[in-house]
Amino acid sequence: MRIGKLALVSAALLSTLSASPARAAKFTNQFIEFELPPQWQCNLEGAEWVCQNTNEAKKKDAIIVLAAKLKGDQDSLDQYLAYLKNSKTYTSVQGKTVKSEVKYAKFLSLNGQSWIDALHLESEIPGFFTRYLATVKQDIGVLITYSVNKGKWQEYVSDFDALVNTLKVFRKAGSINVQPAEKNLFDQKIPSEIQQGSVFPTDGIQGGGNDQSQRPKSGGEAVYLILGAAAVVLFLLWRKNRSG
């Protein structure tokens, strides 16, 4: 009986320790395809796709927004590069004037497609980095942005690098859900109701989000916790069997 109980406990622990991490999912719409980070999903919000973590505790860390429009006179890679080389000035939801800091803006080739790749600090949300990837495909302009709390950047950079490396753009035949030609592709990327809602709270965002209480435990910390719990269980079983 004692051996049976110990075997069951050991099997449960091995199962927990060897459990594989969540797999990333492929997202595809009418003009773009890429690998989403694990536990993320995308929803259509008006003419834009908004992608977020399904974990409520992590929703305010980062957001991906996809936009497309019919090609107009202002839609070319050179014009996108010129735009993204400049700082962006706007008024935050708190009523403060914010000017973004340009980290870089350059051409990038991804899976046979030329893109403009740029990184700004505080260009969309105060206290957040935003990376832009913009291109033109046939008669449409396409933009994908991801905004990450600057205090959480290192936690998300590998997931978003995987997203970028799998990024593909195309133009499906027929009518697709895009903005009109006269629209500026870089206007209103992050819906205002999201900035003003619970996903990105208006208080404390200027601090960069260095909230250590939300820092996920590393793999080493998780293993120590599991082994500690196992030791307690085994000790209690041993004491019970000895007393019996």
The tens digit of pLDDT for each residue in 57-83 reads 898 899 999 999 999 999 999 999 999
Residue 79: Cβ-neighbour burial (10 angstroms; 0-12, 13-18, 19+): middle
pLDDT band at 7 (very low <50, low <70, confident <90, very high): very low
Q: Does residue 164 register a pLDDT over 70?
A: yes
Strand partners, 45: 48
pTM of the model: 0.71
pLDDT score of 35: 93
Q: Given this model, what pLDDT does residue 223 score? A: 43
Strand partners, 105: 118
pLDDT of residue 103: 97
CB 225 within 8 A of CB 217: yes
Task: Determine the 3-state secondary structure of 29 from DSSP.
Answer: coil
Per the listing, tokens 């592709």 go with 185
Q: Can you give the pLDDT at residue 204?
A: 34
Mean pLDDT along residues 31-41: 92
Q: Residue 62 belongs to what H/E stretch?
A: strand 62-70
Confidence at 238, pLDDT banded by 50, 70, 90: low
Coarse DSSP helix, strand, coil percentages of the chain, rounded to the nearest 5 percent: 30, 30, 35
Token pair in block for residue 41: 């999903």
Indicate the pLDDT class of residue 211, thresholds 50, 70 and 90: very low
pLDDT in tens, 99-145: 999 999 999 999 999 999 999 999 998 999 999 999 999 999 999 99
Cβ proximity of 182 and 102 under 8 Å: no
Tell me the mean pLDDT in the region 78-104: 93
